[in-house]
Amino acid sequence: MTYAQITGWGKCIPPASISNDEISQIVDTNDEWIASRTGIKSRRVSHVSTADLATAAALDALACAGIEGKDIDLILLATCSPSTMVANTASMVQKNIGAIGAAACDTNAACSGFLYAMQLATAQIRAGMIKRAVVVAAERMTWYVNWAKRDSAVLFGDGAGAVVLEASDEPSGLLASKIGCDTEDRNILHIANCGTDLNKYEPIGPSDLMFEGREIFKRAVKGMSQACDDVLTQANLSLDDIHVLVPHQANLRIIQAIQQKLNIADEKVMVNIDKYGNTSAATIAIALCEAVENGLIKPHANIMSAAFGAGLTWAASYIKWGERVTPINAPSATLPPCDKTGLELIAESVRHCVDQ
Ligand code: UT7
């Protein structure tokens, strides 16, 4: 039997940040509200493109695996904030990492995108169609933010994470997975003024994030815990067998509610929403990478992951880690220097939103 082991992991965290106090200069909010209702203290804003974020994360994942771009058969880029839609952004990543001739495809399942892409790439490796894949999730969610709307403006951030999957005889990688979509509620989370449904000859306003926070919250808790239960059954495991939970980072209270439903102890749960906010598809990819770096993921760990996002897509996965928890080559990818603060990077966008 062939499995798709995770042999490399990497991330790209853009340097400029916006603290809760800084965002309180833009919308009517405050650090106390944001921190207590969401767990977020700061978020990153990117000075480079989604493709650049994805490239840096992918290069570090390749270094970690000790292989090069030319060894890769497939690149799946999970994103709902692509640099370009045609040509797809994955093709730019393919070029940047030197994965000459590799298949390159963007997958958009919003916040569930990384787990969707993991399932798709794993299935191809396990079927013997390909040997090695890079699954990368990269987002510039701050590009979409309406800085006049305090309920959603405080939530989102930018960043990228990536893994390398390689064919292996060892039972490891994604061993059970369930992905789905509850489309009836798709309007409670969407970007308006974006896409080919628009009449491109009519003047249209800027794209806008439409968001019913409380409804999404309820469905996220229910959807993610149900999906976790289904995956445990599929894998024939009990919750006691799970060593680490790596949940989508949308709201600390959502994570805690799932944790409570599943009865998982605090020390088993990977949380980094305080530093980065919600980076959509990238949250789990970044959190997985940081969970290995900080020693939460140990050799042969059983990892449960769950996500929920626009669509309303949902996903849960059981991942078995391999033996190695240290990189073969240290991460060394760099971004061009950033000479602006987070507030300076969003200043023009803020002006447009406030003028509306
Ligand atoms: O990745 C998947 C997509 N995202 C999510 O899953 C996010 C899901 N939803 C959430 O995380 C939460 O619903 C929010 C963080 C968005 C909102 O938290 P909440 O506890 O559900 O607050 P709420 O919407 O019920 O609003 C409570 C109050 C309201 O005031 P009133 O009507 O009680 O006077 C809001 O106007 O909080 C107010 N409020 C704020 N106050 C200060 C909403 N946003 C803010 C804010 N600062 N940023």
Question: Which of ligand 1's atoms lies nearest the C-alpha of 280?
Answer: 1
Question: 322 C-alpha to center of ligand 1: Å?
Answer: 40
Mean pLDDT for all residues in the chain: 96
Question: 119 C-alpha to center of ligand 1: Å?
Answer: 32
- Eight-state DSSP code of residue 280: T
- Residue 284 Cβ < 6 Å to ligand 1: no
pLDDT in tens, 147-200: 999 999 999 999 999 999 999 999 999 999 999 999 998 999 999 999 998 988
CATH number of 1-356: 3.40.47.10
Distance (Å, rounded) from C-alpha 35 to C-alpha 24? 12
- Residue 33 Cβ < 6 Å to ligand 1: yes
- Placement of tokens 């980072």 in the chain: 249
pLDDT in tens, 267-312: 999 999 999 999 999 999 999 999 999 999 999 999 999 999 999 9
Distance (Å, rounded) from C-alpha 249 to C-alpha 272? 7
Question: 279 C-alpha to center of ligand 1: Å?
Answer: 17
DSSP, collapsed to helix, strand or coil, labels residue 32 as helix
Q: For residues 138 and 342, is the Cβ–Cβ distance under 8 A?
A: no
pLDDT at 316 over 90: yes
Nearest-CA residue for ligand 1 atom 21 is 214
Task: Spot the catalytic one: 12, 64, 80, 111.
Answer: 111
Q: Which of 79, 156, 214, 273 to mutate to test the pocket of ligand 1 (most atoms within 8 A of CB)?
A: 214
- Placement of tokens 């997958």 in the chain: 107
Residue 181 is among the residues annotated as catalytic for this protein:
no
- Residue 37 Cβ < 6 Å to ligand 1: yes
Residue 278 is among the residues annotated as catalytic for this protein:
yes
Residues of the chain above pLDDT 70, percent: 100
Nearest-CA residue for ligand 1 atom 29 is 151
- Eight-state DSSP code of residue 310: G
Nearest-CA residue for ligand 1 atom 42 is 29
Question: 151 C-alpha to center of ligand 1: Å?
Answer: 5
Q: Which of 151, 216, 276 to mutate to test the pocket of ligand 1 (most atoms within 8 A of CB)?
A: 151
Torsion 308-313-314-320 (CA) sign: negative
Q: In what helix (H) or strand (E) does residue 309 lie, and over which residues does it extend? A: strand 302-309
pTM: 0.97
- Domain ranges across the chain: 1-356
Going by pLDDT thresholds of 50, 70 and 90, the confidence category of residue 356 is low
- Residue 111 Cβ < 6 Å to ligand 1: yes
pLDDT in tens, 205-215: 888 889 899 99
Residue 187 is among the residues annotated as catalytic for this protein:
no
The predicted pLDDT at position 14 comes to: 98
Mean pLDDT (whole number) for 311-318 = 96
The predicted pLDDT at position 185 comes to: 87
The per-residue DSSP string of 67-105 comes to --GGG-SEEEEE-SS-S-SSS-HHHHHHHHTT-TT-EEE
pLDDT at 327 over 90: yes
